[in-house]
Amino acid sequence: MESNIRVDLPDFDEALRPTWPGMRSGGVERGWGAGSQLVQIHDHLRENARELLAAIDELIAGGTDIEGARAFVRELSARQGYSAVGSFCSGFCTLLTMHHSIEDRAVFPGLGRSEPQLLPVLRRLMAEHEVISEIIALVYEAIDAAERDREQAPTLRRIAEHLRDRLLSHLRYEEAQLVPALNAHGF
């Protein structure tokens, strides 16, 4: 069965990212504070992305059947009780979407008021959230396709890998630009 999932995956150009002028002039000490808490949250998202790809790889390798994949996912500490790769992804994708929504609606506006020079960076981060949201929608489509036809699992893997790659790039950029400001100003 041929995949009908988009081949042109949403993306963003890292070269177009603005930087916070405060970083060029030495910025704020990293220390401990809200920025450090953000890194901890991001570390959790990084681990979840790794676990999702591991579950998909196991399914593709044929080392497990669907029930085996479900059992594997149930064992993932961050997702106890989820019963399928799709459910795990749903939990991870929902967590990621909630995280970005909180940033867009609460964290970024407050940080922009405290540090107006960060506004171009904050706008860029919100635009990247939209791209990541589009990729998440494609992951859901790919899960549905793979559930109907296991031969679609490599397409699911490719899209989940693209999500991971874009997410990791986004998190590195966000941390580089925001951790010092968040440690100085808080959420």
Per residue of the chain (187 residues), give pLDDT as tens: 455 666 688 999 999 999 988 764 444 444 567 888 888 888 988 988 888 888 788 777 765 554 444 444 444 433 332 234 555 555 666 777 787 888 888 888 889 998 999 999 999 999 998 898 888 888 878 877 877 887 888 898 899 899 899 999 999 999 999 888 888 887 6
What's phi and psi for 134, nearest 5 deg? Answer: -60, -40
Whether the CB-CB separation of 128 and 2 falls below 8 Å is answered with: no
Q: Which helix (H) or strand (E) holds 53?
A: helix 34-61
Would you identify the CATH topology of the domain 30-185? Four Helix Bundle (Hemerythrin (Met), subunit A) (1.20.120)
> Distance between CA 110 and CA 13 in Å, rounded?
26
> Distance between CA 82 and CA 74 in Å, rounded?
5
